[in-house]
């Protein structure tokens, strides 16, 4: 775990000294867009882009789901970093960097921008043509996958419909702050107060979500939208990782009837379960975060069956 400082990798845990023990996530820095717009440097082209992911990472997981749902598997290649992230950050191992056979993800960041400073995160959407990072922000990557390649694939499924954008964004904002990033705020807090705040805000939001999902099948409208997928990748990891490792333990997610049925439904959407690997995920979190779990012992639970029948196809008012 570390970051790039003045062109060099430095092994360093998150610094919470200046934020009263609170974990503050760094903004993603590569923010270019793939688009057909005139003058666009990055046009949608089959075989041009490569996605680097960790199967443990909820942010990267979103991009894998969109790659599946939008039938981009033959258009955008993918590779997976090693489960453990130790003193050199994300490691590529034998198959993690099929393009340049680099050892570490930080080398890829420096290849894209030798002056890059900061943390080295996944997902990374790489352009093989100009040999740079197009974008390393999952929200923007899934939106590109949602629409930029439609003409190439013929898949016009839309998870961010114009008519619902405002409501989707409002829901996303609360869910990002209190749930997606909320579990990290609890887990990476270094003072009791910062942890307490994150814990209460997280479970207030899960109570709100349980109520919302008792009245409607999906977060927004009558179909699955990006809001559901953005939430799903955090929820699927909850009992296996966040409940124990990040101390988000007021309840297990399986104790929320509507939320857990909702997770099962999303898991059972064709193609999605192939993007989930909770064993790899547990190894990543428990064996990489030495500050939180110095013994690196990976717990054997929680046993969950996301293939169990769900009740989400019932009538809603
Ligand atoms: N805002 C980014 C966050 C990506 C992110 O933080 N990924 C984590 C893995 S779950 C990471 O690579 N962390 C490495 C680090 O912070 O040093 C996104 O949504 O893409």
- Which residues have C-beta atoms less than 6 Å from ligand 1? 1, 28, 57, 59, 119, 121-123, 137-138
| Residue 176 CB coordination number (10 Å) | 16
Residue of the CA atom closest to atom 9 of ligand 1: 57
Q: Which CATH number fits domain 2-153: 3.40.30.10, 3.30.70.2740, 2.40.128.520, 3.30.750.80?
A: 3.40.30.10
Contact partners, residue 107, CB within 8 Å, separation at least 6: none
Determine the straight-line distance between the first and last CA of the chain, rounded to whole angstroms.
49
- Cα(274)–Cα(99) distance, integer angstroms: 24
Query: Pick the catalytic residue: 57, 109, 248, 285?
Result: 57
Contact 160, 225 (CB under 8 A): yes
Q: Is 248 among the catalytic positions?
A: no
14 CA distance to ligand 1 middle (Å): 12
- Cα(297)–Cα(228) distance, integer angstroms: 32
201 CA distance to ligand 1 middle (Å): 21
Which ligand 1 atom sits nearest the alpha carbon of residue 138?
20
Pairing relationship of beta strands 132-135 and 49-53 according to DSSP bridges: unpaired
Q: What is the ipTM of this complex?
A: 0.99
Residue of the CA atom closest to atom 17 of ligand 1: 119
121 CA distance to ligand 1 middle (Å): 4
Contact 136, 123 (CB under 8 A): yes
Q: Which of 5, 16, 24, 59 to mutate to test the pocket of ligand 1 (most atoms within 8 A of CB)?
A: 59
- DSSP track, 157-220: --SS-GGGHHHHHHHHHHHIIIIITHHHHHHT--SHHHHHHHHHHHHHHHHHHHHHHHH-SSSS
Find the helix or strand (DSSP H, E) in which 77 lies: strand 76-80
In sequence order, the β-bridge partners of residue 91 are 104
Residue of the CA atom closest to atom 14 of ligand 1: 121
Does residue 119 sit in helix, strand or coil?
A: strand
162-275 adopts what CATH topology?
Glutathione S-transferase Yfyf (Class Pi); Chain A, domain 2 (1.20.1050)
**Domain residue spans in the chain?**
2-153, 162-275
Angle, to 10 degrees, between the axis of helix 257-267 and the axis of helix 192-215?
A: 80
Contact partners, residue 166, CB within 8 Å, separation at least 6: none
What is the pLDDT tens value at each position of the chain, 317 positions in all? 899 999 999 998 888 988 999 999 888 899 999 999 999 999 999 999 999 999 999 999 999 999 999 999 999 999 999 999 999 999 999 999 999 999 999 999 999 999 999 999 999 999 999 999 999 999 999 999 999 999 999 999 999 999 999 999 999 999 999 999 999 999 999 999 999 999 999 999 999 999 999 999 999 999 999 999 999 999 999 999 999 999 999 999 999 999 999 999 999 999 999 999 999 999 999 999 999 999 999 999 988 999 999 999 998 86
Residue in the structure block whose two tokens are 């898991």? 267
Contact partners, residue 193, CB within 8 Å, separation at least 6: 20, 21
């Amino acid at each position: 775990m570390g970051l790039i400082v003045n062109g060099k990798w430095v092994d360093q845990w998150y610094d919470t000294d200046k934020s009263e023990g609170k974990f503050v996530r760094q903004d993603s820095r590569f923010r270019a867009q793939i688009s057909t717009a005139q003058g666009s440097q990055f046009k949608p082209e089959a075989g041009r882009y490569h996605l680097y992911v960790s199967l443990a990472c909820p942010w990267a997981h979103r991009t894998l789901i969109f790659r599946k749902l939008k039938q981009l598997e033959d258009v955008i290649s993918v590779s997976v970093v090693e489960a453990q992230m130790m003193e050199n950050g994300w490691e590529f191992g034998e198959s993690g960097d099929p393009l340049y056979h680099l050892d570490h993800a930080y080398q890829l960041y420096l290849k894209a921008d030798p002056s890059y400073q900061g943390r080295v995160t996944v997902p990374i959407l790489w352009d093989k043509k100009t040999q740079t990072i197009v974008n390393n922000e999952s929200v923007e990557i899934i939106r590109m996958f949602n629409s930029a390649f439609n003409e190439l694939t013929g898949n016009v499924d839309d998870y961010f419909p114009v008519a619902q954008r405002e409501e989707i964004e409002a829901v996303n904002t609360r869910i990002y702050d209190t749930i997606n990033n909320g579990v990290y705020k609890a887990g990476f807090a270094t003072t009791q107060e910062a942890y307490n705040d994150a814990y209460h805000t997280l479970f207030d939001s899960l109570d709100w979500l349980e109520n919302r999902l008792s009245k409607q099948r999906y977060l927004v409208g009558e179909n699955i939208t990006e809001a559901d997928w953005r939430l799903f990748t955090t929820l699927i990891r909850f009992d296996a990782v966040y409940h124990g490792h990040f101390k988000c333990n007021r309840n297990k997610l399986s104790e929320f009837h509507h939320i857990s049925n909702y997770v099962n439904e999303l898991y059972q959407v064709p193609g999605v379960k192939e993007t989930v690997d909770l064993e790899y995920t547990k190894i990543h979190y428990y064996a990489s975060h030495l500050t939180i779990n110095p013994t690196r012992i990976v717990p054997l639970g929680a046993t969950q069956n996301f293939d169990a029948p769900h009740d989400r196809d019932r009538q809603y008012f």
